A and B are shown apart, each in its own frame.
Chain A
Amino acid sequence: MSVVQLVALVVVAVGAWATVAAREPVRQTVVVSLYGLTLGILFFTFQAPDVALSNIVIGAVALPTMILLAIAKTKH
């Protein structure tokens, strides 16, 4: 396993922990977006660029947007 892959794995683990540790929903949404991005980078380092692309768009943009809109609607 290369250094880049190891670093990516550690970053994803930290990101997953940070997502759980952030208790405030709006903050958590921002963290989960960053987590989606790091997960995409992890997939990329393991030679799965197709999955990486999907995850970056879905995990870092689409999913947080839906959560944010849902939070905004319930608070409104």
Chain B
Amino acid sequence: MEDPPRRPGELSFRGRVRLFLGGAAVLGALLLWGLAGLPDYRSFTPLYGQLVNKDAISERSTTAVVTAVNFDYRGFDTLGEEFILFAAVLVLALLLRRLADERRGPLADSPRRVHTTSALVRLTALGLVGPTVLLAVYITAHGHLTPGGGFQGGVIAATALLLVFLGSDYEHVQRLRPKPLVETAKAGGALAFVLIGLAGLIVSGAFLENFLPLGHPGDLVSAGTIPLLSLAVGIEVSGGFVLLLSDFLTQLLVLHRKPDR
């Protein structure tokens, strides 16, 4: 291969390949070393998993042990994760805001208007909006009974907005997501998580302690604070993702760079 002209001190193509092969060999050896030390398939039974599997149902009245770990035993970790997402959405919203050299343009020359969506796609997309929202509510509300929970349900709810966009247009999306409400949901969900945690501190003496009546395992209203925390996460996540998607769409379809003077 012909080497492109290079600046003094820059590696040649062959030098780069050699550097890559050397690094890949070391990385590969380390990976193989680590993989060789792994326990055999299904032979690893950590104590933590055994304990949680044994005690979660009797201790917390929940039939979804993973959710019990996420929102109760390790609820503090989830609090951290929730605020990571909160900060990420916040920063993206900041990046996607209208800049000084951008103006709100007409929608007319947007790509969506040029390529019209077929009636069949529109019909299918709009027909799926209702079931998607229902699924999101179900996944969120049954987080303490079956796999799922606030995070999964929240993202599913936000995808319903995508289906609305696919089935109609930008104006309808904007009408469906009043910005103050979405922002309040996002911040309110995050706040609710902290408040439920603080309530545990006040009532039972420990942050995020499950202080509500546990009820009967398998009932919709059971497991104390677990479904409430899951709901708080669901509201925050759906608000965050809706904000993200609509900011992206606005940036794509409405904002145009001002012509250079």
- Which residues of A are in contact with B by a Cβ distance under 8 Å? 1, 49-50, 52-54, 57-58, 61-62, 65-66, 69-70, 72-73, 76
Contact = CB atoms under 8 A, between A and B. Distances in A.
Interface stretch (B15-23, B151-159, B186-194): B151-159
Contact of A53 (B111, B148, B245, B251): B148
Nearest to B244: A66
Contact of B252 (A50, A54, A76): A76
B67 interface: yes
Contacts of B252: 69, 72-73, 76
Nearest to A52: B147
Contacts of B248: 65-66, 69-70, 73
Contact of B139 (A53, A58, A73): A53
B147 A65 contact: no
A36 to B, nearest CB: 12
Given A1-B41, A65-B162, A76-B252, A50 B67 contact: yes
A37 B33 CA distance: 31
Nearest to B147: A49
Contact of B147 (A1, A50, A58, A76): A50
B159 A61 contact: yes
Interface of B: 41, 64, 66-67, 111, 139, 147-149, 151-152, 155-156, 158-159, 162, 241, 244-245, 248-249, 251-252
Contacts of A66: 244, 248
B111 A72 contact: yes
A58 B155 contact: yes
Given A1-B41, A50-B66, A76-B111, A57 B152 contact: yes
A62 B41 contact: no
Given A69-B252, A72-B252, A50 B152 contact: yes
B152 A53 contact: yes
A26 to B, nearest CB: 12
A73 B156 CA distance: 24
A55 to B, nearest CB: 10
28 contacts: A1-B41, A49-B147, A49-B148, A50-B66, A50-B67, A50-B149, A52-B147, A53-B147, A54-B152, A54-B155, A57-B152, A57-B159, A58-B155, A61-B159, A62-B155, A62-B158, A62-B159, A62-B241, A65-B162, A65-B248, A66-B248, A69-B248, A69-B249, A69-B251, A72-B111, A73-B251, A73-B252, A76-B252
Nearest to A62: B155
A66 B64 CA distance: 31
Contacts of A53: 139, 147-148, 152
Given A62-B241, A69-B252, A73-B251, A57 B41 contact: no
Closest 9 CB pairs of A and B: A49-B147, A57-B155, A53-B152, A69-B248, A50-B66, A50-B147, A73-B252, A61-B159, A54-B152
A52 B163 CA distance: 21
A4 B62 CA distance: 29
A52 B148 CA distance: 9
A72 B170 CA distance: 15
A53 B154 CA distance: 11
